[in-house]
Structure 1
Amino acid sequence: MTEESIRHRKQSSDQGLDGLSLESKKSKSMNLQKEVGLISGICVIVGTVIGSGIFISPKAVLANVGAVGPCLIIWAACGVLATLGALCFAELGTMITKSGGEYPYLMEAFGPIPAYLFSWASLIVIKPSSFAIICLSFAEYVSAPFYPGCDPPIIVIKCLAAVAIVTITTVNALSVKLASYLQNLLTAAKMVIVVIIIISGIVLLAQGNTQNFQNSFDGPPLSVGLICLAFYNGLWAYDGWNQLNYITEELKDPYRNLPLSIIIGIPLVTVCYILINVSYFTVMTSTELLQSQAVAVTFGDRVLYPASWIVPLFVAFSTIGAANGTCFTAGRLVYVAGREGHMLKVLSYISIKRLTPAPAVLFYGAVGIIYIIPGDINTLINYFSFAVWLFYGLTIAGLIVMRFTRKEQERPIRVPLVIPIIVMLVAVVLVLAPIITAPELPYLYCVLFIFSGLIFYVLFIHYKFGWAQKISNPITMYLQMLLEVVPPESDTTEEDKTSHF
């Protein structure tokens, strides 16, 4: 079956739908659809950000700063930084209305090589490893009630995580609307546990349980390196503040809905995170929190007993919602990278029947399954954050550069220049401080892996060696027939049909 036969099948299908011709439906069938409104946009941000982080990171943040007061300050500062970064991304997203997050912004500001290195690092390590960590957290909370008094077997956790990845990937490959509705539902469910924890904490505070906040700044001396590591863990819980930029092409009225979703969503998350941490410290001392295996479960056991089972159930909803939001947005990065020729061309193709970037989503899920072999979560978060903030800083630098190189370009949103400068400087500190204060080889390995992508760029993209085409062309053809996908409308030139990498 060739691409022409696939198109013939699609034409026959189209002609049977209410008598509409292929020409009248072409623009709809060959592009991603604008299905995401303001409410769904807010839910994507809130649903992606509030995931496993707030149930994992409080312990790590406290371990680095050593006292309640600095811990709460770190959580508030992380929220401010996420909001400022998101406002910078809002300007980029309304100036360059392409899906793919940082990828098209780096492409416009610095050219193909930085954009390719970002897509390489994100598609192979950053995004799938994040997806895997979230699904592993989901598996731990789901399996915990069935193994009271002991840790669930590792094989059970891995299998549940794999099932979660397959299920979420399938949903996102089948329907944009279904994935969006699922995200809205899971966001509402996770807000239930957030509200329960916050209200419980407020009630306990009103009853006079404030002893754990006395002398809240008495702790060990702080260093720049420890503060940065605390920021890494706090910012992990906020990760996802830029996720809406990955689906800009699917936003209804992006000039309005993108900034509004950010302005409403991220401050809402920040307030929730601070209040949740206050609730934790109302029930547990610093020592008890550090000794807890699962902070939210310990909180539920002490406050909600005998209804403590509610906590792991709704935490599971929270984590699976974050995983769904991550898959929904990261699949678009694969789609855009494939469309630009930086990945297999078939990854930019769209399902004929479903109108979703199915190959990109399936690729993302497949790589995510590889990462379900767990490591030390805190270590993974540190190196994940190192790589992420390296590219965040570079993207914000691109915004500053384009203020001077593209002065004439329309900017529906224009943030004060001081905001991107502050965010870029903070990103530089976050990247360099841990290396300077506590140099470790894994940071070097991370940098070397990122730049190893240049080898593939030279072989497959810059020079386009003939043997590479001979390998990629049959792969593209067979995947296109198997998945029943075709290029998007803007991609259906003769040149694109013959260039598959």
Structure 2
Amino acid sequence: MSTIKDLNSPTEMKLINSTEEEDDGKVRMKKELGLLEGVAIILGIILGSGIFISPKGITEEVDALGTSLAVWVVCGLLSMIGALCYAELGTSIPKSGGDYAYIYEAFGNLPSFLYLWAANLIFVPTTNAIMALTFAKYVIQPFFPDCDIPKHSDTLIAASTLCFLTFLNGYNVKATTRLQNVFMFCKIGAVVLVILVGITWMGMGHLENFANPFDGGTTNPGKLAKAFYSGIFSYSGWNYLNFMTEELQNPYVNLPRAIFISIPLVTLVYVLANMSYLSVLTPDLMKASDAIAVTFGNKLLGKGAWTIPVLVAISAFGGLSVHIMTSSRMLFVGARNGHFPAMLAHLNLKTLSPVPSLLFLNLLSLLMLCTSDIQSLITYCTIVESFFVTLSVSGLLYLRWKQPNMQRPIKIHLIVPVTFVIICIFLLILPCVEAPYVVGIGTLITLSGIPAYYAGVFWKNKPKWFREMMKTLTELCQRVCFSSHED
């Protein structure tokens, strides 16, 4: 392993995007994404399986209908504030890598390594597991409408799905990408169907569930914080356009505009979808359901109820496929930068896909399935990811102080990042009371990256036996995966 390389150098930008061109001897990405494409990217990433899973987790924590809707609105506002901070970061540090680049620029090697370490060991495989379990539950639930699904059946289907999609991504990347249009249609169609059916139901005068909406709601700060994590999980992805800043036309204008259009639109869609759920299902029914959209459809759609689980399952399947593909590239880039073993930066010679990275993440995702409790996985994943988002925005404040003359095409008012960091710190501290085990495990895994960094990256003169062992493992990986490093 070696020290981190410049994330904006020509070498490091190979394979990040296939549309590269030569300009004055330098490799640059084509700026092909306009405002419409930017909005589509944010909407496509955010609108996923979360809206079909998180409502249950929020209701379990807050109990009251009104408090639940308030959590969805506040999570949307928090996402907007965070996205504005990332608009400044993305235009001030126009490098590939998103949080990886921002944390490196502000705090250096070790914190940026810990981000990659936590991303690839915690929230990437955890998100894969959540999406796989969402798919499994929506596939199974229609066959058991009046009883609990068989024990471990969802876990087995989720594990099979993870293995199949890992194989598909490694075997034929083009086939995977061509399916995304169908998956996107189903994803949007499922949400729109829920909203239209709910609005029709409420328009017929069924508003009894909204009487006294805040009665029985919790005021426990720890429970409220856990509810916010379920909501934040559904909004995750608002910062992903920053990974493509170099390809965005006029990013100083289009990046903030895409944010201002997308986040309020997603917030509106999420609030309407939850109003639809809550107009039909009581909080107790939502808590008892493993697939809320299926229960919702069974109440109102009669023989047509099968459409909702089909659309949701296809949506989750497609989202998982994309996430497996993109997350493996993050691990691939981390290995290529010298932050992970070199064998993970190898490509299959036939398909040119990062098969070793795909297999490694698949193994970790399968380990995350040891618990089929989706809400625990969401809390586990979001707490760690939120810490590094907080660190990225803290880097914005640090750079304001350390490099006051740094070029900032977009410069937001100081109160915006300060407010965001303060709120995130509270959300990081409060769950320690309600979910100390989850927080503790996430913290320990993240901190385990410190000795890994010093042993793997900082320590240069490794003993001969260690170098020979890594060489043997690399050669074994090359034979098994028919792979080699990038030329």
Closer/same/farther in 2, CA of residues 35 and 152 from structure 1, 3 Å limit: farther
Match of 1:396 in 2: 393
Correspondence 1:275-294 to 2 at 5 A: 275-294=272-291
Q: Is the 8 A contact 2:49 2:315 kept in 1?
A: yes
Closer/same/farther in 2, CA of residues 387 and 416 from structure 1, 3 Å limit: same
Q: Is the 8 A contact 1:33 1:355 kept in 2?
A: no
Q: Is the 8 A contact 1:94 1:254 kept in 2?
A: no
Closer/same/farther in 2, CA of residues 36 and 264 from structure 1, 3 Å limit: farther
Closer/same/farther in 2, CA of residues 31 and 127 from structure 1, 3 Å limit: farther
Aligned mate of 1:241, from 235, 238, 243: 238
**CA–CA distance in structure 1, aligned partners of residues 354 and 205 of structure 2:** 54
Q: Is the 8 A contact 2:191 2:273 kept in 1?
A: yes
* Residue 81 (str. 1) matches residue 78 (str. 2): yes
Match of 1:192 in 2: 189
SS in 1 for 2:304: coil
Match of 2:457 in 1: 461
Match of 1:96 in 2: 93
**CA–CA distance in structure 1, aligned partners of residues 315 and 32 of structure 2:** 20
Q: Unpaired runs of 5+ in structure 1?
A: 1-23, 489-501
Q: Is the 8 A contact 1:48 1:321 kept in 2?
A: no
Aligned mate of 1:59, from 44, 56, 63: 56
SS in 1 for 2:214: coil
* Residue identity in the other structure for 2:374: I
Correspondence 1:420-431 to 2 at 5 A: 420-431=417-428
Q: Is the 8 A contact 2:67 2:217 kept in 1?
A: no
* Residue 206 (str. 1) matches residue 228 (str. 2): no
How far the C-alpha of 1:150 sits from its partner, in A, is 3.9
Q: Is the 8 A contact 1:135 1:320 kept in 2?
A: yes
Correspondence 1:80-479 to 2 at 5 A: 80-154=77-151, 156-173=153-170, 179-246=176-243, 251=247, 253=249, 255=251, 258-349=255-346, 356-435=353-432, 437-438=433-434, 440-464=436-460, 465-466=462-463, 467-479=465-477
**CA–CA distance in structure 1, aligned partners of residues 133 and 51 of structure 2:** 15
How far the C-alpha of 1:235 sits from its partner, in A, is 1.1
How far the C-alpha of 1:281 sits from its partner, in A, is 1.4
**CA–CA distance in structure 2, aligned partners of residues 154 and 94 of structure 1:** 49
Q: Is the 8 A contact 2:21 2:30 kept in 1?
A: no
**CA–CA distance in structure 2, aligned partners of residues 31 and 131 of structure 1:** 33
**CA–CA distance in structure 2, aligned partners of residues 304 and 434 of structure 1:** 38
Residues 311-330 of structure 1 deviation map (CA, whole Å, 9 limit, x = unaligned): 11011022123323322432
Percent of aligned pairs with the same residue? 35
How far the C-alpha of 1:160 sits from its partner, in A, is 2.6
How far the C-alpha of 1:426 sits from its partner, in A, is 1.0
Match of 1:487 in 2: 486
SS in 2 for 1:309: helix
TM-score (norm 2): 0.84
* Residue identity in the other structure for 1:219: G
SS in 2 for 1:308: helix
SS in 1 for 2:410: coil
Closer/same/farther in 2, CA of residues 326 and 397 from structure 1, 3 Å limit: same
How far the C-alpha of 1:424 sits from its partner, in A, is 0.9
**CA–CA distance in structure 2, aligned partners of residues 430 and 211 of structure 1:** 33
Residues 144-191 of structure 1 deviation map (CA, whole Å, 9 limit, x = unaligned): 334454444445433432332234334544666654443343122111
* Residue identity in the other structure for 2:93: I
Give the alignment's Cα RMSD to 1 decimal.
Answer: 3.1
Closer/same/farther in 2, CA of residues 428 and 203 from structure 1, 3 Å limit: same
Residues 51-92 of structure 1 deviation map (CA, whole Å, 9 limit, x = unaligned): 222122212212222211121111011011112212322332
**CA–CA distance in structure 1, aligned partners of residues 33 and 323 of structure 2:** 18
Match of 2:16 in 1: none
* Residue identity in the other structure for 1:306: K
* Residue identity in the other structure for 1:95: S
Q: Is the 8 A contact 2:21 2:29 kept in 1?
A: no
Q: Is the 8 A contact 2:69 2:271 kept in 1?
A: yes
Range 316-325 or range 347-356, more displaced? 347-356
Aligned residues: 461
SS in 2 for 1:476: helix
Q: Is the 8 A contact 2:78 2:420 kept in 1?
A: yes
**CA–CA distance in structure 2, aligned partners of residues 26 and 168 of structure 1:** 35
**CA–CA distance in structure 2, aligned partners of residues 357 and 25 of structure 1:** 23
Closer/same/farther in 2, CA of residues 483 and 409 from structure 1, 3 Å limit: farther
Q: Is the 8 A contact 1:460 1:468 kept in 2?
A: no
SS in 2 for 1:198: helix
How far the C-alpha of 1:128 sits from its partner, in A, is 0.2
Residues 396-424 of structure 1 deviation map (CA, whole Å, 9 limit, x = unaligned): 10111122333444444333332221111
Range 407-416 or range 31-40, more displaced? 31-40
Q: Is the 8 A contact 1:103 1:333 kept in 2?
A: no
Match of 2:3 in 1: none
**CA–CA distance in structure 2, aligned partners of residues 477 and 43 of structure 1:** 42
Closer/same/farther in 2, CA of residues 398 and 179 from structure 1, 3 Å limit: farther
Q: Is the 8 A contact 2:103 2:112 kept in 1?
A: yes
Closer/same/farther in 2, CA of residues 118 and 160 from structure 1, 3 Å limit: same
Q: Unpaired runs of 5+ in structure 2?
A: 1-19
**CA–CA distance in structure 2, aligned partners of residues 83 and 276 of structure 1:** 19
**CA–CA distance in structure 2, aligned partners of residues 257 and 480 of structure 1:** 43
Closer/same/farther in 2, CA of residues 112 and 360 from structure 1, 3 Å limit: same
* Residue identity in the other structure for 1:487: E
**CA–CA distance in structure 2, aligned partners of residues 239 and 390 of structure 1:** 13
Range 50-59 or range 389-398, more displaced? 50-59
Q: Is the 8 A contact 1:47 1:325 kept in 2?
A: no
Q: Is the 8 A contact 2:141 2:294 kept in 1?
A: no
Match of 1:16 in 2: none
**CA–CA distance in structure 2, aligned partners of residues 469 and 244 of structure 1:** 39
